[in-house]
Amino acid sequence: MIYQLFLCFFTSLSLFSCPFCPGSFAREAQTFYEDDLVLGVYPHKPIYPNHVLAIPKRHVERLEELTGEEMQAIFHLAKKIEEKIFQKNGLTHYLLLQKNGRSAGQTVPHAHFHMIPIAEGTWTISVLWRFFSELFYSPLREEALREKTALLAEQISD
């Protein structure tokens, strides 16, 4: 009985659909950049201010499934984020992280790249600890997500 209630509850949620594909909240409310191939998305649980995601629009689960054109577009976006958002906010160090497969810690089965700005003097191990402990963070409220997304959109379009 408890198992059936659990299954009914979770299958009624959108947990089993991709959060980065069309129709999802992240795609609609957290996207600050979009072109023909890629998206810039503000995560619902950022580990540091200005932590962002670069995501291919086409649904692929792993890095090796991306086309050369998609990879080029992702790295073009990463450069744009570094120049228009990170530099403008005095952030000169960042971690670019991409995980492939569950054993590597991939929790969303859609390829994506985390760009995590790091303050000078911060130890990388402390950043990784924050990254892996984010499962226990509370997601940002919708209003805060929309405000930050709008700010990032403004910064990247300058």
Find the catalytic residue in 44, 51, 110, 112. 112
Between CA 109 and CA 17, with CA 103 as vertex, the angle to 5 degrees is 20
Rounded to an integer, what distance in angstroms lies between the CA atom of residue 155 and that of residue 86? Answer: 10
Is 59 catalytic? The answer is no
Residue 9 pLDDT:
40
Phi, then psi, of 69 in degrees rounded to 5: -65, -40
pLDDT at 16: 55
Instruction: Place 128 in a pLDDT band, splitting at 50, 70 and 90.
Output: confident
Residue 135 has pLDDT above 90, yes or no: no
Q: The tokens 């299954």 sit on which residue?
A: 7
pLDDT of residue 113: 97
- Looking at residue 4, its pLDDT comes to 37
The per-residue pLDDT for range 4-45, each reduced to its tens digit, is: 333 334 433 444 589 999 999 888 899 999 999 999 999 999
